[in-house]
Chains A and B, each alone.
Chain A
Amino acid sequence: MLGLGKKDTTLLLIVAALVVFAPFILNPFPGGSGMAQFNAGYPDLMQRFVIFGIFAIGFNILFGLTGYLSFGHAAFLGVGSYSAVWMFKLLSMNVLPAILLAVVFSGLFALLIGYISLRRSGIYFSILTLAFAQMCYALAYSVLTPITGGETGLQLAQDDPRILDAARDSGNLPVPGLFGLEMRSTADLVLGDWVFTFSAGYYFCAVVMLISFYMAIRIFRSPFGMMLRAIKSNQHRLNYTGLNARPYTLAAFVISGMYAGLAGGLMASMDPLAGAERMFWTASGEVVLMTILGGVGTLIGPVLGAGLIKYMENILSKINGDILHSWFAFLPDGLEDFIVTIVYPFIGKGWHLTLGLMFMAVVIFLPGGLVEAGQRIARAVRGRRSDDRKSATTEPAE
């Protein structure tokens, strides 16, 4: 289907199903129950899942295929966000031109930075990209304040020109939308104790993410993708065959930068504010961690990694001591306090600790990242099944 092999089609369909039914899948616990704290099926987080998924997919095209570890990818995300917000301010609140401009600008920016940085390889390349991104962050936070909004971020204002939009009489700021469909509009489906929220913005992001994912598969399977893998496995040998690897890596870098810009544009479309922290080195580090956590060089891995990190950040950090006490309230008082004392350092303000422990656990026990966990489970399941059905050999999804 769509020029994909059977395996890839299955993978794409699985991802599509997961994304479409995410509002259900991420809301497994009934509202009001103690476990509802772990529900992630609200628009903001679902949007973040797919947006950071796009970011990580794009990063993986560079890092997973060519092995070039960029430590400054957040700069493209930031450039994408800023250009999208500027588009909202100047042109129109429609998200399409904003996202288009975000992709184009970040692509151009990636071309410039990539052209310079790719003159070096290995850690020298990493530090060059890091240096560019840190310069972007530092300047955006300070001297470029008139363009970027600095500390308070670039925001919409009442008196922005917005030349394509009709004049507004309401005293409220306009909302990004797609030809009149507001990105923040939602519909709720109530089934007993469960409330499932369907957000227009989320489904817009989801469609974009599926297209990006499809394109990533095509890139992975294309001769171009093969060439990139060749660069990763042995660039010298490639050079000896008379091929110049630079144009290929540069193309991968620019594509990956455009993915980041797309993610940035989407972020601004869901929430029209762009801040400089998006370009700080920790943000670049985060996408590296997402990719490694999920599984470098695999198709689905980075998306999983992105989801896990964002889940931890948004769900764990909101659990406070009070909630803990209510969870363990059924225990005798002394035991309750004891358990709460044990658990407390790991949640709420201690969520970083859990994150760090998880990084270590995954990399120690699952060298291939989360995808390896999936493969092991698949193998275990197949192992059991193969007793009665020996012919069943579905290859593990990549």
Chain B
Amino acid sequence: MDAIILQILNGLDKGSAYALIALGLTLIFGTLGVVNFAHGALFMIGAFCAVTLSRILTFSHTIIDESRTDFLGNPLKVQVPYVQDFFGEAAGATIIDWAVPLSILFAIPVMILVGVVMERGLIKHFYKRPHADQILVTFGLAIVLQEIIKYFFGANPIPTPAPDAFRGSFDFGVLLGFEANQIIYPYWRLVYFAFAAVIIGGVFAFLQFTTFGMVVRAGMADRETVQLLGINIDKRFTIMFGVAAAVAGLAGVMYVPINPPNYHMGMDFLVLSFVVVVVGGMGSLPGAVLAGFLLGILESFASMKEVIDLVPGINQIIIYLVAILILLTRPRGLMGRKGVMED
């Protein structure tokens, strides 16, 4: 039982990442009708926003410590961050320690800007073009973004830990009435799940309860009619692209302490997030979220030793297998609308 609860927690956690990326992807599908292969790159850029901020915070000047030597036998150069000079050593260290949560504030404007520039500068010209052209141009863009990041940050993963307060783990089992040490879960992963829930809730509330959201939903359902009513739907869709980029970016920022980011992390998630979106059903936001969590949980169960012993290799293919089964039994995924991207 405790093993199953653990895997459900793992699944929810993985599912949060899938759901956040898929949510943005399906927003872009649904509003703009664009197949965005650069969406994984947006997730990656978000992650590197966190890396950049922690680099900025640890921007240092060098003092030479004569008492120690480096590998060549020269006096050791010690880096002292300016932040520590400015705020004093302890306060400076705390600020550096909180780099990842601080990056959220940094990443939101950056990601919205990236999204809007991308939409106005490039994607806008591809609304009327075939999906094939959209794939080629966004894939090209993804490669370019990835290579730019690689140029500045290298190919190696960059460790960017969570603040000290959130390191370590938490005995979740005790809350549920299990014995101690049965269900131990890292703090940061719980934070990630809560964060994802807030963002997903926020996006839904925004679309459901604001006038702006209502217009966007109307535009998703029937773009032409909304335009005939004299509403500038394009401008709203541009903003939605920015929102989608920000959602992907924030998913990336918060993901950084879970796994050290590298420049191709976006590509690793790209295919998976497409599968999630399609399994959820094209044009359906709740579908994308549902599919994200469902696939996350199933993936976690499939990686249990007992399951692998029963069906060797199941952990390798579970996501794709489930995707095939769902698409064969439910023609438009879990909650897809008829006629969206079916041609």
Direct A–B contact present (CB less than 8 angstroms): yes
B278: which A residues are within 8 A, CB to CB?
123-124, 127
Cβ of B332 and Cβ of A124 under 8 Å apart?
Answer: yes
Q: Knowing that A123-B278, A127-B274, A352-B143 touch, tell me 16 more A-B residue pairs with CB under 8 angstroms.
A: A69-B131, A120-B328, A123-B282, A123-B342, A124-B331, A128-B327, A130-B275, A139-B316, A142-B313, A144-B313, A292-B133, A292-B136, A356-B144, A356-B146, A357-B144, A363-B140
The interface of chain A, by Cβ under 8 A from chain B, is 63, 67, 69, 116, 119-124, 127-128, 130-132, 134-135, 138-139, 141-144, 235, 281-282, 285, 288-289, 292-293, 296, 345, 350, 352-353, 355-360, 362-364, 367
Known: A353-B144, A363-B140. A69 touches B132 (CB 8 A): yes
Complex CA gap A127/B312 in Å reads: 24
Q: Report if B137 contacts A (CB, 8 A).
A: yes
Stretch in B90-98, B181-189, B318-326 touching the partner: B318-326
Cβ of A128 and Cβ of B342 under 8 Å apart?
Answer: no
Known: A123-B278, A350-B147, A359-B143. A142 touches B137 (CB 8 A): no
From A122, A143, A352, A359, B342 is in contact (CB under 8 Å) with: A122
Find the B residue at minimum CB distance from A291: B132
Docked complex: B106-146 residues within 8 A CB-CB of A: 122, 125, 129-133, 135-137, 139-144, 146
Q: Report if B341 contacts A (CB, 8 A).
A: yes
Cβ of B311 to closest chain A Cβ, rounded Å: 10
Q: Is the interface of B mostly helix, strand, loop or mixed?
A: helix
From A119, A288, A296, A359, B140 is in contact (CB under 8 Å) with: A359
Residue contacts A-B, CB under 8 angstroms, 22 given? A63-B132, A69-B132, A116-B324, A116-B328, A123-B35, A123-B342, A124-B331, A124-B342, A127-B279, A128-B323, A128-B324, A131-B321, A142-B316, A143-B313, A144-B313, A289-B136, A292-B132, A293-B136, A352-B146, A353-B147, A363-B136, A364-B125
Known: A353-B144, A359-B136. A132 touches B320 (CB 8 A): yes
Cβ of A127 and Cβ of B136 under 8 Å apart?
Answer: no
A121: which B residues are within 8 A, CB to CB?
342-343
B343: which A residues are within 8 A, CB to CB?
67, 121-122, 235
Q: Report if B151 contacts A (CB, 8 A).
A: yes
Find the B residue at minimum CB distance from A285: B139
Cβ of A123 and Cβ of B323 under 8 Å apart?
Answer: no
Q: Is the interface of A mostly helix, strand, loop or mixed?
A: helix
Find the B residue at minimum CB distance from A232: B343
Complex CA gap A143/B122 in Å reads: 43
Cβ of B290 to closest chain A Cβ, rounded Å: 16
From B139, B321, B323, A127 is in contact (CB under 8 Å) with: B323
Cβ of B141 and Cβ of A360 under 8 Å apart?
Answer: yes
Which of A63, A123, A132, A285 has the most C-beta atoms of chain B within 10 angstroms of its own C-beta?
A: A123
Q: Which 3 A-B pairs have the closest CB atoms?
A: A359-B140, A356-B143, A143-B313
A282: which B residues are within 8 A, CB to CB?
267
Complex CA gap A86/B275 in Å reads: 33
From B35, B133, B333, A124 is in contact (CB under 8 Å) with: B333
Q: Report if B317 contacts A (CB, 8 A).
A: yes
Cβ of B152 to closest chain A Cβ, rounded Å: 10
B191: which A residues are within 8 A, CB to CB?
none
Find the A residue at minimum CB distance from B322: A131
A142: which B residues are within 8 A, CB to CB?
313, 316
B122: which A residues are within 8 A, CB to CB?
360, 364
Complex CA gap A82/B144 in Å reads: 33
A122: which B residues are within 8 A, CB to CB?
341-343
Cβ of B143 and Cβ of A355 under 8 Å apart?
Answer: yes
Complex CA gap A292/B282 in Å reads: 24
Complex CA gap A124/B277 in Å reads: 10
Find the B residue at minimum CB distance from A121: B342
Docked complex: B139-193 residues within 8 A CB-CB of A: 139-144, 146-148, 151
Known: A124-B331, A131-B324, A350-B147. A288 touches B135 (CB 8 A): yes
Cβ of A359 and Cβ of B317 under 8 Å apart?
Answer: no
A132: which B residues are within 8 A, CB to CB?
320, 324
Cβ of A118 to closest chain B Cβ, rounded Å: 11
Cβ of B320 and Cβ of A134 under 8 Å apart?
Answer: yes
Known: A138-B313, A352-B147, A355-B143. A131 touches B137 (CB 8 A): no
Cβ of B129 and Cβ of A367 under 8 Å apart?
Answer: yes
B342: which A residues are within 8 A, CB to CB?
121-124
Complex CA gap A47/B324 in Å reads: 36
A358: which B residues are within 8 A, CB to CB?
140
Find the A residue at minimum CB distance from B131: A69
B139: which A residues are within 8 A, CB to CB?
285, 289, 356, 359
Cβ of B133 and Cβ of A356 under 8 Å apart?
Answer: no
B137: which A residues are within 8 A, CB to CB?
359-360, 363-364
Q: Report if B105 contacts A (CB, 8 A).
A: no
Cβ of A130 and Cβ of B271 under 8 Å apart?
Answer: yes
Cβ of A58 to closest chain B Cβ, rounded Å: 17
Complex CA gap A360/B122 in Å reads: 10
Cβ of A352 to closest chain B Cβ, rounded Å: 5
From A131, A144, A288, A363, B320 is in contact (CB under 8 Å) with: A131
